Structure 1
């Protein structure tokens, strides 16, 4: 944590943030994100609507938040951009910064690189949903897409479902899937099989993390008892699951205002396949105000769009964790 004298604030890099979160541990981190979902469902968070700026080839999003019940000392905003064409340039496709401020004086406290923040909190949100909605006897995890986020999805899901003994990965580039398997199988301690799409979907839990703009998963490929995490399609123009999949699933969301403008749910509402009343808040499930999985045969679908409270919780944990270590 480096002090920027001119700004009287600290600079926290991706590497420093990652090290701090690894010290906190996935189980504890997921628990903190779960608290955020619960407080959000109780109306105890201040999270204005996400602002999108679309350039045609990339987009920028601004995500402010204040969590008076979680920690009233801080507020903050994340500026995150997605530039898919960066992959061809050898550059990150997701870039961002987080500005953490003193909630009373509005003095800048820290500037954080936000790529690792986004990756960790997105994985943790899936962990919260998977723990609440998937079958406790789940043995297989299918991951579709093996970009950066796939690792964090797997780590979080393995944390909450230690019954999993096999991960099936699919990527349009088989070589990338094989690289993922070879790199992470020793760390995860489970078999990581490189498979085709059909075999990846033949899993108890399936997580999709692709930038697809046309659906590639259809209702006939979905079996009873599955839990699905739709993570990649977080804007109107992206979609992974055909909206018909939602007809047979119980649909759970992270944020109502964002989900109705994102991926499968946006298209499903537009076509009249689903109604807004079909959307169930994950936070309400965690609080016992709504039912989650009602039977072993339920198909549960979690739509993840990424909510600003998740970023602020991450920023607070990292800043206070690093400050505590600095004083030891």
Structure 2
């Protein structure tokens, strides 16, 4: 079994590879060929320290030169600081193949999944990209989405750091109302427990990706936007039901899984609003781990 370090992951995995790997993994899921293990958490408090251990995973079939694998992602949290590992096993023998340090996976895989959704749901003529937040995921999403459309404007709305992040991408710092009203593609990557903007402001034809939270107690989008949306995409219904606070008041019958859209794309009218809600699932981590392990000779 091989131990793959964070440095090796960073040197091996790029944004385009990550997006392509997730597109293929979601295609498997959409065809009923991949299985997902839901996230499980245990929490405790010891001497005033908040502790948590979480696990999630997936089973992927062989794909080209990539072997069939079983995988789990396990991570610790101590006072809100996280450390991630992914372990891969051979589907042919059951033997362990590799354990990978996975902090970089978590940064890349969320934005890569949003990139898959953007390719499917954002209008080809989208020209303004608006991002709420200025942290790690906001930056990762700007890097992942900028190459996918001919964006002419970048808008950043954040409590702090908006000016600096916007300047890096030739954009401008704006308030929430402007970001919501002028974005053709809108990404919310915050820890906000309440909606960030009035959904009535979102323009017809917009695509909105909410990626900031994975608890039922937090939400970045309001019910007004969800009511206007023609398409509401999720990674996996089971995970969304357990963890998507944005969708608590939105009937699950309205949701479509990302894998279904990859496997069977749907037509979309120019004025239709599409929403993608991400909570992060083990399918994404296992898919990226498999690519890295294959490139480094572990499987």
The verdict on how the C-alpha distance between 1:145 and 1:58 changes in structure 2, with shifts beyond 3 A counting, is farther
Give the Cα separation in 1 of the matches to 2:198 and 2:190: 15
Question: What does residue range 98-177 of structure 1 map to in structure 2 within 5 Å?
Answer: 98-161=86-149, 163-173=150-160, 176-177=161-162
RMSD after superposition: 2.1
Give the Cα separation in 2 of the matches to 1:55 and 1:147: 27
The TM-score, its normalising length taken from structure 2, stands at 0.89
- The reply on whether 1:219 has 2:199 as its aligned counterpart is yes
The TM-score, its normalising length taken from structure 1, stands at 0.81
Give the Cα separation in 1 of the matches to 2:76 and 2:215: 13
Q: Deviations over 1:72-114 (max 9, x none)?
A: 443211013456x54xxxxxx4421111223344333222111
Give the Cα separation in 1 of the matches to 2:263 and 2:68: 25
Give the Cα separation in 2 of the matches to 1:60 and 1:130: 31
Question: What does residue range 60-75 of structure 1 map to in structure 2 within 5 Å?
Answer: 60-70=53-63, 71-75=66-70
SS of 1:315's equivalent in the other structure is: helix
Structure 2, unaligned runs of 5 or more: none
Q: Which residue does the alignment assign to 1:282?
A: 258
Question: What does residue range 176-187 of structure 1 map to in structure 2 within 5 Å?
Answer: 176-182=161-167, 184-185=168-169
| Residue 224 of structure 1: how far off its partner (Å) | 1.0
Q: Deviations over 1:128-159 (max 9, x none)?
A: 00010011011111110111111221122123
Deviates more, 1:128-137 or 1:234-243: 234-243
Give the Cα separation in 1 of the matches to 2:43 and 2:254: 29
Give the Cα separation in 2 of the matches to 1:27 and 1:214: 33
Give the Cα separation in 2 of the matches to 1:59 and 1:246: 32
Q: Which residue does the alignment assign to 1:300?
A: 274
| Residue 264 of structure 1: how far off its partner (Å) | 4.1
Give the Cα separation in 1 of the matches to 2:171 and 2:242: 34
SS of 1:296's equivalent in the other structure is: coil
| Residue 59 of structure 1: how far off its partner (Å) | 4.4
Q: Which residue does the alignment assign to 1:208?
A: 188
Q: Which residue does the alignment assign to 2:177?
A: 198
Q: Deviations over 1:26-74 (max 9, x none)?
A: 3343122111111101110121222123448564321121112434443
Structure 1, unaligned runs of 5 or more: 1-8, 87-92, 186-190, 269-273
The verdict on how the C-alpha distance between 1:94 and 1:224 changes in structure 2, with shifts beyond 3 A counting, is farther
Q: Which residue does the alignment assign to 1:29?
A: 18
SS of 1:122's equivalent in the other structure is: helix
Question: What does residue range 42-57 of structure 1 map to in structure 2 within 5 Å?
Answer: 42-55=31-44, 57=50
| Residue 267 of structure 1: how far off its partner (Å) | 2.1
Paired positions, count: 290
